[in-house]
C-alpha cells in the first residue's frame, strides 16, 4: 500500500512536470498563434532565455555614434529583433512563464489604467526589494491605497513650492564646487553622472526628509549604491540565502541602511514634542503612525522605513539619469543649449529661480520631455495577469507576464513620425499628451492610478538644476565620452558622462 501510494505521488508529480514543461507551453503557444500573436520558439525549460542571451551578448560591446539616439539595438536588442520579425506585439517565454510584449498603446492604456488589480506589479526579486523596500512602488490593493493616502499630500503643489528654496541651495552648493575647481576661465572636465547622483541624493535628504543629518544621509546613499552594484553583478540572486562573501556584504549593507534610516526617524521623534513631526514626507508618515481617529491610514515604523528606501532610491536614481541624459543632449545640440540659456536669462535673469520663474521655462520643459522620450530612466514596465483576461480582444491566460517596452513605444515611427529617433523638442510644444499620434505613447512616469507620484517633484528639480546651470556655464561633450547606454535598473551611460564645462563669468 505504501509503495502504491508513493507510485501515485510520483506519477502525479511527473504528470505535473510534463504539463508545466511541455504541454502547457505548447497549448498556450498555439492559442496565441490562432490569435495572430507569434514569437521565438519555446525551448524545453529555458523558453527563449538562451536566444535572448545570445542576442544581448552580441550587443554588449556596441559603442554608438554620439549623434545617434537609436539605442534599442544596445539596450533592448532582443525586443528589437523579435518585434521586427514577429510584430510589435509578440509572445516569448521566460523559462516556463509566457510573456507578451505589448506594442499597442491602447492595450498599454488598458493595463495601466486598471483600478481593479487585474494586472498586478511583477515581483522584482529579493535584491531589488532590499534596495527599494516594500513601499508604494511594489505593494498592492488596500495596502497601496493606505500608503498613497499618507504620502500623496507631500507632493501637492504648495509643498513643492516650499521645497524649491531648499532644492536651490543644494544646487548652488554643487555648482559652486564646480566653479572652485576651475580657474582663469578655462575649460573644466567633470564626470557629471556621478555628480548628479550626489546632488539628487542631497536634494532628497533635505527636501523630502527635511534632514540636515548629512552623515546618515550619506550612509543611506552609499549603502544603496553598493547594493545596486551587487544586484547588477548578481541579478538572479539564486544563492541569496547562503552565507557567501557577497551575501554577507549585502546583509551588512542592508543593516547599515536600516540603522541610518532608524536614526533619522528617531531623531525626528525625539524632537517631535517641541517641533512636531514636520510637514515633509517623513513628518506626514510619522504623524500617520499615531492617528487620532483614522486607524485605516496609519503606517507602522517598518512601513515608514520601507517608504524611505523607496523614495530615497527612486528620488535620486531616476532623476539623476534624467539630468544626465538631458546634459548629454544639450551638449551635443549647442543650438538648443543656447536657446534654453536665452529663455532662462529672459525669465530669471541671474537670480536664483523661484517656482513662478520656473513655470515660464517652456523650452526647458520641452527639452526635458524629449530627453525622457529618447532616454527614459525606466525602459520597461512589467505586470502580471492575475486572472484570465480579455485585453483589447486578445485572450491572456492567468499568470502571463505583460511587458511594456517604454523605450520602443516612445520611438515608434507609427506614432512619432519618421524623425522618431531624432532629437526634436518642438514635438512637445503643445504638451506631452499631444506630442504623438497616440497620447499613451509617452510613458516615462507611467499612467493611471499607479503613475509616478514624484513626477512634479522630479520635473521641478530638473528645471531648477538646468536653469541655474545655464546661468553659469556653457558645456560640451568631452572627446573621452563613449556613447554606450546600458540598462542597469535604470538607463545609464556605461562609461559615465565626461563633460567640458566653461564658466560664463569669472
Query: Binding site residues for heme, as ranges?
Result: 452
Contact 344, 326 (CB under 8 A): no
CA quadruple 231, 235, 236, 242: dihedral positive or negative? Answer: negative
Closest listed residue to residue 92, CA positions, set 45, 25, 40, 51: 40
Q: Rounded to whole angstroms, how far apart are CA atoms 339 and 337?
A: 6
Contacts of 177 (CB under 8 A, 6+ apart): none
Closest listed residue to residue 209, CA positions, set 103, 121, 315: 315
Q: Rounded to whole angstroms, how far apart are CA atoms 283 and 209?
A: 8
Return the C-alpha cell found at 471.
Answer: 546661468
Return the C-alpha cell found at 149.
Answer: 493616502
Return the C-alpha cell found at 317.
Answer: 536614481
User: Which residues sit in the known binding site?
Assistant: 452
Contact 491, 325 (CB under 8 A): yes
Beta bridge partners of 121: 383
Backbone angles phi, psi at 146, to 5 degrees: -65, -45
| Strands of the sheet with 498-503, listed across from one edge | 188-191, 498-503, 473-477
Contact 268, 214 (CB under 8 A): no
Amino acid at each position: 500500500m505504501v509503495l502504491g501510494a508513493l507510485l501515485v505521488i510520483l506519477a502525479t508529480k511527473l504528470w505535473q512536470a510534463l504539463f508545466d514543461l511541455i504541454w502547457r507551453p505548447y497549448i498556450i503557444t498555439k492559442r496565441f498563434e490562432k490569435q495572430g500573436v507569434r514569437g521565438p520558439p519555446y525551448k524545453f525549460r529555458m523558453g527563449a532565455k538562451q536566444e535572448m542571451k545570445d542576442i544581448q551578448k552580441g550587443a554588449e560591446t556596441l559603442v554608438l555614434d554620439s549623434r545617434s539616439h537609436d539605442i534599442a539595438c544596445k539596450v533592448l536588442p532582443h525586443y528589437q529583433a523579435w518585434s521586427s520579425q514577429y510584430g510589435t506585439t509578440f509572445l516569448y517565454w521566460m523559462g516556463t512563464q509566457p510573456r507578451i510584449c505589448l506594442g499597442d498603446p491602447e492595450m498599454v492604456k488598458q493595463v495601466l489604467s486598471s483600478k481593479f488589480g487585474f494586472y498586478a506589479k511583477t515581483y522584482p526579486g529579493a535584491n531589488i526589494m532590499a534596495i527599494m523596500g516594500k513601499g508604494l512602488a511594489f505593494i498592492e490593493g488596500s495596502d497601496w491605497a493606505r500608503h498613497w493616502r499618507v504620502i500623496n499630500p507631500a507632493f501637492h503643489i504648495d509643498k513643492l513650492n516650499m521645497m524649491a528654496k531648499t532644492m536651490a541651495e543644494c544646487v548652488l552648493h554643487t555648482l559652486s564646487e564646480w566653479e572652485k575647481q576651475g580657474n582663469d576661465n578655462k575649460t573644466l572636465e567633470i564626470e557629471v553622472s556621478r555628480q548628479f547622483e550626489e546632488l539628487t541624493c542631497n536634494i532628497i535628504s533635505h527636501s523630502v526628509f527635511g534632514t540636515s543629518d548629512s552623515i546618515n544621509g550619506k550612509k543611506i546613499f552609499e549603502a544603496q549604491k553598493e547594493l545596486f552594484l551587487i544586484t547588477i553583478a548578481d541579478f538572479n540572486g539564486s544563492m541569496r540565502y547562503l552565507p557567501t562573501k557577497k551575501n554577507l556584504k549585502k546583509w551588512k549593507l542592508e543593516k547599515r541602511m536600516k540603522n541610518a534610516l532608524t536614526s533619522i526617524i528617531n531623531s525626528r521623534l525625539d524632537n517631535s514634542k517641541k517641533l512636531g513631526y514636520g510637514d515633509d514626507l517623513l513628518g506626514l508618515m510619522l504623524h500617520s503612525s499615531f492617528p487620532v481617529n483614522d486607524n485605516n491610514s496609519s503606517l507602522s515604523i517598518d512601513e515608514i522605513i520601507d517608504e524611505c528606501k523607496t523614495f530615497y532610491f527612486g528620488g535620486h536614481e531616476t532623476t539623476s539619469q534624467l539630468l544626465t541624459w538631458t546634459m548629454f543632449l544639450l551638449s551635443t545640440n549647442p543650438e538648443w543649449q543656447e536657446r534654453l540659456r536665452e529663455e532662462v536669462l529672459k525669465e530669471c535673469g541671474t537670480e536664483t529661480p523661484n517656482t513662478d520663474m520656473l513655470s515660464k521655462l517652456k523650452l526647458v520643459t520641452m527639452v526635458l520631455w524629449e530627453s525622457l522620450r529618447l532616454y527614459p530612466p525606466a525602459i520597461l514596465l512589467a505586470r502580471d495577469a492575475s486572472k484570465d483576461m480579455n485585453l483589447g480582444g486578445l485572450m491572456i491566460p492567468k499568470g502571463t507576464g505583460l511587458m511594456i517596452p517604454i523605450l520602443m513605444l516612445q520611438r515608434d515611427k507609427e506614432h512619432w513620425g519618421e524623425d522618431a529617433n531624432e532629437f526634436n523638442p518642438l514635438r512637445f510644444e503643445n504638451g506631452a499628451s499631444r506630442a504623438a499620434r497616440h497620447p499613451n505613447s509617452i510613458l516615462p512616469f507611467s499612467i493611471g492610478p499607479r503613475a509616478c507620484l514624484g513626477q512634479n517633484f522630479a520635473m521641478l528639480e530638473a528645471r531648477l538644476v538646468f536653469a541655474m546651470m545655464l546661468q553659469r556655464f556653457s558645456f560640451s561633450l568631452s572627446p573621452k565620452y563613449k556613447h554606450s547606454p546600458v540598462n542597469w535598473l535604470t538607463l545609464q551611460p556605461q562609461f559615465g558622462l565626461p563633460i567640458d564645462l566653461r564658466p560664463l563669468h569669472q
